[in-house]
């Protein structure tokens, strides 16, 4: 077992503006026991996360004011984005440990077991501050502390939220580390988790949809709407169609507090009621791929499941997992009456059947409205089951909606009625394409799969077949009933050799079947395409003046390397045939400052495949200035790392945005200077602070 020891220094940790979380990154040397004199921990931190490369295991402990903690394993949990998404690709092969709330600490020790090729520590300081922001409580929901109230930094979110068409499962997690001592500390933990997920892991936002603390507080998680089916990053392969609920703390043996259990039960009762899901039901879902369940595998999950049900993990700990059955039972009897599994079969222009199940026998109604919100049809009955068929064949064309209800105390089911899929109606497949048209399923995270997208003019039964170039069917890939509108299907080429293929989409509506075909190239010739560094500063100062481009070819092929601006080539560093084997190209930029796509297209006997990496050219140094006033405040004109040098010690913080921030200097420091360095290696002039 190898021991890595991180020690603190005397320089104070610079503070930021109100509520900001500060993160410091340190590379940890591997290969034997040594002191990290070149990569010290900040003077204080209260959350730490570890990343590492290699199949080995990583352990850590921290020291605050009461000696060393016990050793914890930084287990690479699979609370991750789904394979093939941009969030997943940003991890670049790193194994990711959960952010661990340590409380105030100043030292970190890390030891490894097995093969660990690189290790990296992320130290976070999340201030414990109260925010008088508002909370929200809708009908039947617990009081939910909104993102604005717990201090979410909306400026660091990477992308707009994605949504699932329906919700089937609540997946319960625990976070990691100590439970909060105060309600305000809970908000600090949530802020720290968000910053770690986004800035360290590269995810779009915090991974969980909701978080619950031991005081029963419920926090809004991932952005996008608390009643919408926001796709999170909490259960790899099962993020779509689930809501991730994390209980703050560690519950390997200890049970969560009674207020926490009650809050989770009430949250699940409300959120599943919004989706009209019975908390005691079991639903079949399809895995999008993880180490436990292959992509496409059908998996039955309880409506209230634990994270360990979806992957190889101990989360949410035995102390919480063993109580999920009781939590589900409580959720099932909370907020009654309820309506479950509403379904609509058929479409406008034909017979339309409505069905649903009620939690108890009640008088029910089904109403249909036109675009002016005027009722055009109604059905009614009494009992636990809703069943009504409506003849819409004489209905004039237009937009129509429905409402299934059973009294004022029950949440109704509403929706739009599809058109054009009645028996004998026509169905068409439009906008069929595979993107990219050539892909490389070699595990490097660039173009490991292709996304087949298409639109249906009407609801239909859809199947997708893999075909040879001559149209011979090789294997069925997908089959399901789908509504009218846009749809996507991800194919990773697993188990099939390199070659040219056809993907045929067939849609059946009534007796009519229509098909459409798109071509795709599967080639593993290209792998390992990488650019180092990804930000260039070709100004002759010796820092990041050129980039090294590396890739590997399994067979000889023709290579075309281009820098693209707005999709158009501006420079072509490589345009020639290359032999098989590892390739290295040095690129000195030669373009104006700005953001570019570096496109590598490899053409062999199979066909062309293209991979893209982002690159930025930036020759201008950042500007670091002092802001007038009593407090010591600095201003940056762009995101950069700010290094403070004082009394022979130094520390560096990452400022992910331009703007002003406050600096707190340790008492007794006689001399203090600061300079900024951007991602391109451009440095500002040194600024004397004391």
Angle at 322 between CA 316 and CA 326, to 5 degrees: 115
Q: Which of 204, 191, 212 is nearest to 160 (CA)?
A: 204
DSSP-assigned letter for residue 91: T
Tell me: pLDDT of 421 over 70: no
Phi, psi of 199 (to 5 degrees): -85, -30
Cα 294 to Cα 477: distance, rounded to the nearest angstrom: 14
Whose tokens are 């028996």? That residue is 423
Q: Which two tokens stand for residue 521?
A: 């190239």
Look at 115-124, 232-241, 243-252, 630-639 and tell me which has the smallest mean pLDDT. Answer: 630-639
Cβ neighbors of 187 (< 8 A, separation 6 or more) are 128, 129, 130, 131, 145, 149, 150, 151, 219
Which residues face 378 on adjacent strands?
Answer: 367
* Res. 131 pLDDT band, cuts 50 70 90: low
Cβ neighbors of 235 (< 8 A, separation 6 or more) are 78, 79, 171, 173, 242, 244, 307, 310, 311
Cβ neighbors of 300 (< 8 A, separation 6 or more) are 282, 283, 284, 285
The predicted pLDDT at position 272 comes to 96
Higher-scoring residue by pLDDT: 607, 216:
216
* Res. 632 pLDDT band, cuts 50 70 90: confident
Cα 217 to Cα 52: distance, rounded to the nearest angstrom: 33
Phi, psi of 684 (to 5 degrees): -80, 170
H or E element, residue 545: none
Cα 501 to Cα 499: distance, rounded to the nearest angstrom: 6
Percent of the chain with pLDDT over 70: 91
Tell me: pLDDT of 619 over 60: yes
What is the signed CA dihedral for 471, 475, 481, 483, rounded to 10 degrees?
A: -50
Cα 21 to Cα 397: distance, rounded to the nearest angstrom: 55
Which residues face 672 on adjacent strands?
Answer: 646
Which residues face 110 on adjacent strands?
Answer: 4, 60
Cα 398 to Cα 371: distance, rounded to the nearest angstrom: 7
Cα 168 to Cα 241: distance, rounded to the nearest angstrom: 6
Phi, psi of 425 (to 5 degrees): -75, 155
Alpha helices by DSSP H, listed for 208-275, are 258-274
* Res. 442 pLDDT band, cuts 50 70 90: confident
* Res. 17 pLDDT band, cuts 50 70 90: very low
pTM over 0.85: no
DSSP-assigned letter for residue 135: E
Burial of 687 (0-12, 13-18, 19+ CB in 10 A): middle
Tell me: pLDDT of 443 over 80: no
Residue 423's alpha-carbon distances to 80, 398, 426, 568, in angstroms, are: 43, 19, 9, 48
Task: State whether residue 195 is helix, strand or coil.
Answer: helix
Phi, psi of 511 (to 5 degrees): -95, -5
CB 313 within 8 A of CB 307: yes
The predicted pLDDT at position 668 comes to 66
Tell me: pLDDT of 667 over 70: no
SS3 content of the chain, % helix, strand, coil (to 5): 10, 45, 45
Whose tokens are 């009504």? That residue is 388
Whether omega before 533 lies within 30 degrees of 0, making that bond cis, reads: yes
* Res. 572 pLDDT band, cuts 50 70 90: confident
Greatest mean pLDDT among 72-76, 270-274, 562-566, 600-604: 270-274
CB 125 within 8 A of CB 49: no
Kindly report, residue by residue over 670-690, the tens digit of the pLDDT: 788 889 988 888 888 888 887
Cα 22 to Cα 517: distance, rounded to the nearest angstrom: 51
Task: State whether residue 512 is helix, strand or coil.
Answer: strand
Whose tokens are 């040397």? That residue is 29
Please give the average per-residue pLDDT across 192-216, as a whole number. Answer: 94
Whether omega before 516 lies within 30 degrees of 0, making that bond cis, reads: no
Cα 447 to Cα 599: distance, rounded to the nearest angstrom: 12
Task: State whether residue 197 is helix, strand or coil.
Answer: helix
Which residues face 280 on adjacent strands?
Answer: none
* Res. 362 pLDDT band, cuts 50 70 90: very high
The predicted pLDDT at position 483 comes to 86
Tell me: pLDDT of 23 over 60: yes
Alpha-carbon torsion 26, 32, 36, 41, what sign? positive
Cα 166 to Cα 243: distance, rounded to the nearest angstrom: 11
Higher-scoring residue by pLDDT: 38, 91:
91
Cα 162 to Cα 183: distance, rounded to the nearest angstrom: 30
* Res. 31 pLDDT band, cuts 50 70 90: low
Cα 225 to Cα 206: distance, rounded to the nearest angstrom: 14
Q: Which of 103, 100, 99 is nearest to 65 (CA)?
A: 103
Cα 212 to Cα 261: distance, rounded to the nearest angstrom: 9
DSSP-assigned letter for residue 41: B
Q: Which of 495, 501, 496, 503 is nearest to 462 (CA)?
A: 503
The predicted pLDDT at position 423 comes to 40
* Res. 263 pLDDT band, cuts 50 70 90: very high
Cβ neighbors of 136 (< 8 A, separation 6 or more) are 143, 144, 146, 220, 226
Please give the distance of CA 296 from its chain centroid, rounded to a whole number.
20
Q: Which two tokens stand for residue 350?
A: 């034909």
Mean residue pLDDT of the chain comes to 86
Pairing, β 34-35 against β 2-6: parallel
Tell me: pLDDT of 14 over 60: no
Residue 377's alpha-carbon distances to 341, 346, 394, in angstroms, are: 22, 16, 12
Cα 231 to Cα 207: distance, rounded to the nearest angstrom: 9
CB 302 within 8 A of CB 285: no
Burial of 368 (0-12, 13-18, 19+ CB in 10 A): buried
Cα 4 to Cα 12: distance, rounded to the nearest angstrom: 23
Pairing, β 413-416 against β 401-405: antiparallel
Tell me: pLDDT of 170 over 90: yes
Higher-scoring residue by pLDDT: 235, 16:
235
Percent of the chain with pLDDT over 90: 40
Whether omega before 177 lies within 30 degrees of 0, making that bond cis, reads: no
What is the signed CA dihedral for 489, 494, 500, 505, rounded to 10 degrees?
A: -30
Tell me: pLDDT of 278 over 70: yes
């Amino acid at each position: 077992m190898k021991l890595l020891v991180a020690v603190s220094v005397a320089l104070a940790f610079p503070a930021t503006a109100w509520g900001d979380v500060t993160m410091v990154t340190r590379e940890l040397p591997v290969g034997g026991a040594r002191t990290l004199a070149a990569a010290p921990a900040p003077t204080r931190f209260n959350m730490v996360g570890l990343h590492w490369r290699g199949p080995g295991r990583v352990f850590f402990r921290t020291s605050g004011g009461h000696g060393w903690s016990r050793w914890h394993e930084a287990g690479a949990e699979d609370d991750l984005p789904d394979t093939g998404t941009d969030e997943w690709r940003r991890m670049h092969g790193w194994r990711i440990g959960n952010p661990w709330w340590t409380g105030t600490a100043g030292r970190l020790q890390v030891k490894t077991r097995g093969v660990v090729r690189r290790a990296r520590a992320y130290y976070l300081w999340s201030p414990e501050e109260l925010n008088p922001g508002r909370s929200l409580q809708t009908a039947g929901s617990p009081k939910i502390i909104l993102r604005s109230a717990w201090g979410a930094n909306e400026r660091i979110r990477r992308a707009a939220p994605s949504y699932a068409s329906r919700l089937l499962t609540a997946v319960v997690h625990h976070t990691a580390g100590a439970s909060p001592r105060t309600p305000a500390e809970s908000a600090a933990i949530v802020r720290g988790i968000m910053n770690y997920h986004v800035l360290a892991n590269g995810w779009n936002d915090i991974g969980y949809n909701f978080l619950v603390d031991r005081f029963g507080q419920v926090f809004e998680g991932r952005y996008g709407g608390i009643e919408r089916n926001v796709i999170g990053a909490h259960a790899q392969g099962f993020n779509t169609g689930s809501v991730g609920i994390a209980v703050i703390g560690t519950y390997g043996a200890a049970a969560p507090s009674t207020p926490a259990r009650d809050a989770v039960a009430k949250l699940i009762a409300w959120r599943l009621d919004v989706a009209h899901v019975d908390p005691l039901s079991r639903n079949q879902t399809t895995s999008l791929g993880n180490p436990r369940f292959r992509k496409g595998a059908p998996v039955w999950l309880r409506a209230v499941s634990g994270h360990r049900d979806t992957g190889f993990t101990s989360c949410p700990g035995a102390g919480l997992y063993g109580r999920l059955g009781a939590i589900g039972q409580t959720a099932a009897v909370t907020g009654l009456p309820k309506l479950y599994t509403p379904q609509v079969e058929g479409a406008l222009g034909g017979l339309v059947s409505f069905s649903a199940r009620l939690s108890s026998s009640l008088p029910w109604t089904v109403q249909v409205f036109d675009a002016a919100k005027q009722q055009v049809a109604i059905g009614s009955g009494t009992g636990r089951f809703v069943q009504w068929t409506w003849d819409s064949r004489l209905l004039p064309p237009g937009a129509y909606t429905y409402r299934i209800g059973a009294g004022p105390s029950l949440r109704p089911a509403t929706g739009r009625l599809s058109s054009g899929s009645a028996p004998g109606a026509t169905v068409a497949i439009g906008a069929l394409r595979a993107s990219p048209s050539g892909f490389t399923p070699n595990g490097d995270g660039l173009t490991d799969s292709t996304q087949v997208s298409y639109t249906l003019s009407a609801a239909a039964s859809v199947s997708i077949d893999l075909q040879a170039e001559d149209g011979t069917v090789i294997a069925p890939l997908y089959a399901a009933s789908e509504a009218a509108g846009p749809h996507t299907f991800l194919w990773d080429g697993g188990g099939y050799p390199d070659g040219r293929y056809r993907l045929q989409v067939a849609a059946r509506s009534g007796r009519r079947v229509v098909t459409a075909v798109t071509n795709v190239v599967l080639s593993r010739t290209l792998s390992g395409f990488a650019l180092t560094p990804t930000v260039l500063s070709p100004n002759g100062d010796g820092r990041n003046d050129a980039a090294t481009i590396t890739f590997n070819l399994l067979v000889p092929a023709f290579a075309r390397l281009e820098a693209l601006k707005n999709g158009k080539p501006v420079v072509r560093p490589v345009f020639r045939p290359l032999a098989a084997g590892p390739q290295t190209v040095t690129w000195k930029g030669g373009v104006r400052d700005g953001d570019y796509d570096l496109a590598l297209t490899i053409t062999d006997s199979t066909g062309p495949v293209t991979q893209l990496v982002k690159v930025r050219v930036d020759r201008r140094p950042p500007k670091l200035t002092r802001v007038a006033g009593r407090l010591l405040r600095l201003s940056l004109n762009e995101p950069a790392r700010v290094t403070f040098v004082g009394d022979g010690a130094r520390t560096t913080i990452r400022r992910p945005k331009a703007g002003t921030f406050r600096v707190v200097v340790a008492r007794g420091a006689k001399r203090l200077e600061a300079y900024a360095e951007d991602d391109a290696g451009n440095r500002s002039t040194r600024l004397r602070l004391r």
